[in-house]
Structure 1
């Protein structure tokens, strides 16, 4: 075991797969010589050469399109879109080509491409560097959508994504990149012993895509969260003293509905927490699934605590995020409902 940040764990996953499989290639904007804006690819070009780790022009549609072509011809590209906010020019390539290639070719071709991209806020990046667009991809049949919350899962899920024969959108919460996060502070607290700075096995291992993790067992309410919001939920639970069960989804699509259903049927209450805006956020799908499957076990309405339905506010970033205070207030209100 080695202690790693999420950045180090992600880099280690790519390093291991590139060492094992010559067909794995890494490319994107500034990922080569510079090592990526968040340093996730630092040292990989020096180790594997410019044919396997290389920089691209500022052209997300081109980066992803080239990656899909490589994947169709047998390579396993792991491409980086520098910020999730920049992924929209590539959306047509992802939806119309990558997601449909297996079906359009009746299985003759696949698209084993992994698209890595940092998501969410925490760096005061404003509207163009802080978005959480995960719901746009969970709507698309043929894609898998993954969001890890800690270094162990980040490495294991990324290895699984690279080995997967279908396209995987791999979101990386940037607030968790470089150290522990206690759910409160603008900057990580190095003294907080959380999962965002944790022990990671050396060498190859996988975390299955499509399997959630129960981070905290409880009896009173189920909290469904992913990425950074797992820690916000933990902080709210610790501060309110409510016996909540916290489920880290890890994989949004495929979704581990069995784990969710078991938990909600046990607690009778369900809260959904995510950083993206409320309307048409992934929480809407979660709420619908829970309502359909757990209706007769629910004691109160499903609650969603999310970002605002506004363009991302630069100056009010830390008010925009669901924080422990807002989540805790909603938890207390749920417990008071009859």
Structure 2
């Protein structure tokens, strides 16, 4: 087991899957554009975040495909390639650009298997960067996984660690149904242990990162880091929490959440998305409908405010939920019985 950044873990997953299966192709803006330094050898820019760096020299332009600046064209190309027997991994750069291609995603890709009576497979992976905290302003900083999680036919991944990023991307590429793969921009440079060999992380299985008796804390993507800081700080006072990393928001691992809630009786959900129709609201609804008799205090949601992401650094720091917000919510459910 070695350490690598999430960026490198994603790159390794793509490389390994392209070596394993000739039908896996990569497409997107700048994934095979530009020239490589002074060597004279052409190399990919690696997309805007460098995740696909180095794939072009190994696999060639037939499998690492530069596209026009048209999200609708990128998703349409991926859809057609998947129906024709390929396994495309399409990069949309920023998740905020999904709106331009939304019909191709929710009216086409997500419905092919259903509308063709199960005779068609659509093994598409849509990779996209999300999240605030990088001073990228309102059109490049949103966490829109709740929107796509609500679409039947799509699977949605939100990894928080390099190991999960690698294992879940490999699982996504092998899946016969469309998968939307969200990568938080603030996590690309984060290092963590990644097991050697062919690791695959199944969908719909949350990870229990901390165990405790007092509060169940459910977190998503970058919020897992912040929740861990809050939980570890409170543990020094003798307040212990279950910390659950959702890993996928469709499917949701309801069993793990409800099992933890049955032991603690208190729930805090940490979600960087806006509060209305958020995943936090979905988990709170699950607790209210399926775990009602276990609840000893009202569910606390820790989310961003219902506003666009601000550009000013000071305002953005206030916008993103942090460890202090999470700690306050945990203390609140302990006080409110």
- The separation in 2 between residues aligned to 1:4 and 1:47, in whole angstroms, is 21
Report what 2:38 is aligned to: none
User: Among residues 243, 247, 251, which one is paired with 2:244 in the alignment?
Assistant: 247
User: Among residues 136, 141, 149, which one is paired with 2:152 in the alignment?
Assistant: 141
User: Among residues 174, 178, 182, which one is paired with 1:171 in the alignment?
Assistant: 182
- The separation in 2 between residues aligned to 1:280 and 1:142, in whole angstroms, is 19
1:63 paired with 2:62, answer no
- Aligned alpha-carbon RMSD (Å): 0.9
Report what 1:191 is aligned to: none
Cα deviation for residue 285 of structure 1 reads 1.0
Structure 1 stretches lacking a partner, 5+ long: 180-196
1:161 paired with 2:172, answer yes
- The separation in 2 between residues aligned to 1:318 and 1:55, in whole angstroms, is 35
User: Among residues 203, 215, 227, which one is paired with 2:221 in the alignment?
Assistant: 227
Report what 2:316 is aligned to: 317
1:302 paired with 2:296, answer no
TM (norm. structure 1) is: 0.93
Q: Secondary structure at the match of 1:224?
A: strand
- The separation in 1 between residues aligned to 2:289 and 2:10, in whole angstroms, is 36
User: Among residues 265, 285, 309, which one is paired with 1:288 in the alignment?
Assistant: 285
Q: Secondary structure at the match of 2:273?
A: strand
TM (norm. structure 2) is: 0.94
Residue pair 2:130, 2:183 contacting (<8 A) in 1 also: yes
Report what 1:42 is aligned to: 53
1:326 paired with 2:325, answer yes
Deviations 1:221-279 (A, max 9, x none): 00111100011111112233321110000011111111011001110001100111111
Cα deviation for residue 122 of structure 1 reads 2.3
Deviations 1:139-165 (A, max 9, x none): 111000010000100000000000000
Deviations 1:278-320 (A, max 9, x none): 1111111111112111100100011101001011111111110
Q: Secondary structure at the match of 2:221?
A: coil
Q: Secondary structure at the match of 2:272?
A: strand
Q: Secondary structure at the match of 1:81?
A: strand
1:237 paired with 2:231, answer yes
Residue pair 2:132, 2:309 contacting (<8 A) in 1 also: no
Cα deviation for residue 201 of structure 1 reads 2.5
Q: Secondary structure at the match of 1:82?
A: strand
Q: Secondary structure at the match of 1:155?
A: helix
Report what 2:272 is aligned to: 275
Q: Secondary structure at the match of 1:125?
A: coil
1:209 paired with 2:180, answer no
Report what 1:30 is aligned to: 30
Cα deviation for residue 327 of structure 1 reads 1.2
Residue pair 2:133, 2:320 contacting (<8 A) in 1 also: no
- The separation in 1 between residues aligned to 2:155 and 2:8, in whole angstroms, is 23
Residue pair 1:240, 1:332 contacting (<8 A) in 2 also: no
Report what 1:76 is aligned to: 87
Deviations 1:100-143 (A, max 9, x none): 00010001111100000111012100111110000111111100
